[in-house]
Structure 1
């Protein structure tokens, strides 16, 4: 478990679901600039930054090729990491084919599963959120196919011009993959991530569960001293999380 202790006047920041590149590179460009402006603004007081997946609407790493574009956000992340601020990246269902590009080029730690962190002596469980809890069986089956080594090996043999275009098409068109077909609150008894968190609490205590994926900014009290947080997105809400003075806030970004 990684331990983070914030210095005076420092914050821990969280963001998720930027989906850069969707529905087209041109359409998402203003959102990329807005997200880069947020990154530039928080670097002055960030103790650490967590990016909880779906930064890109499609991402696949060939042996020597990655999708072109996104240079502003990649450059800003490199600048922040080089300044000494740790960045933790969790792959989402749209960038689940991320391998080691971030780790080698940006020195950013990449996780493929939820992870525990101790922040100011509060226990966090952090991840993207796709495929967790009961239900969502169609997506879970599809994820097994997409992460199967043989499928990835076969896809890698597609020329990048074809593979990237195919992946972008599937990401935009297939709501089963995108996971945001029900971008409205379904009630605690029907939200799979909430049910997942409640099940985890029967095994171990966590003060905060922090996830993305649902595209909804949510703060749900699970117990008196345990809270489920969903970060929303950077498509409709432009929300992010900040943990300061042992309090978690979901905030809308205002330029």
Structure 2
């Protein structure tokens, strides 16, 4: 039996986007990936935009994703630690995944140390300079008042409106994806600023849909996890180093 000692990181599955068959195909691929990593994973970090939209009413959650959630429950039952990060598409997570999957929900950044290596983890939205309008909207959407008001809307209407907004938001973001890729990434700028006052071996993000592994200095690396609509990329820490890999590419 393999020793469970690896950390796995993945982001931007956007389950629910596209046609139902395409979303189901993505879900089945994710289940196969979770099946593969189950043998040696100690912790799994799902770093935002797992769903294209998510809102937990008091007694209702969005339907679907049964196979994916069931596989996560299997990992939790096997003793594998699960972490869920709120992304810009699924920021309205409350306690459902904590209760059902034993997961820890992360609203912003998470700093951890494993085997002597320091990690800075964040979905990646709202960081760095610019994007003032989104940062303003994020503050509104995460407010208790906004969440309370949305919960008053019947799910048939609320989820429909939210899905429309989610599709619009994704199109806008995709139109910006060619915006200074690579070493001029705004998240690279953010990391370099952060490293002036703090040290991390690895700074790992999602959000940008660009699988990237960039050396920031002699000891620190910026890693973007990419996405699962086309690239199916993820990262793994084996106790010594982090690798950016692809599943069934």
TM norm. shorter chain > 0.5: yes
CA displacement, residues 44-92 of structure 1 (integer Å, 9 cap, x when unaligned): 0112111101010000011111100011111000110111011111111
Q: Please, which of 81, 93, 103 is the counterpart of residue 88 of structure 2?
A: 93
Give the ranges of 4+ consecutive aligned residues of structure 1 lying more than 3 Å apart after TM superposition: 7-10, 178-181, 187-190
Measured after TM superposition, the shift of residue 227 of structure 1 is 0.3
Change (3 A) 1:137 1:175: farther
Query: How far, CA to CA, are the matches of 2:56 and 2:28 in structure 1?
Result: 23
User: Which residue of structure 1 aligns with residue 196 of structure 2?
Assistant: 202
User: Which residue of structure 2 aligns with residue 21 of structure 1?
Assistant: 16
User: Which residue of structure 2 aligns with residue 221 of structure 1?
Assistant: 215
Query: How far, CA to CA, are the matches of 1:13 and 1:27 in structure 2?
Result: 24
- Mapping of residues 94-113 of structure 1, within 5 Å: 94-113=89-108
User: Which residue of structure 2 aligns with residue 3 of structure 1?
Assistant: none
Q: CA RMSD in A?
A: 1.8
Q: Please, which of 11, 34, 40 is the counterpart of residue 35 of structure 2?
A: 40
Conservation of the 8 A alpha-carbon contact between 1:238 and 1:253: yes
1:68 aligns with 2:56: no
1:173 aligns with 2:168: yes
Conservation of the 8 A alpha-carbon contact between 1:54 and 1:92: yes
Query: How far, CA to CA, are the matches of 1:9 and 1:174 in structure 2?
Result: 38
Measured after TM superposition, the shift of residue 187 of structure 1 is 4.4
User: Which residue of structure 2 aligns with residue 4 of structure 1?
Assistant: none
Q: Please, which of 51, 60, 65 is the counterpart of residue 56 of structure 1?
A: 51
Change (3 A) 1:179 1:99: farther
Give unpaired runs (5+ residues) of structure 1: 1-6
Query: How far, CA to CA, are the matches of 1:94 and 1:240 in structure 2?
Result: 19
Q: If the length of structure 2 is used for normalisation, what is the TM-score?
A: 0.94
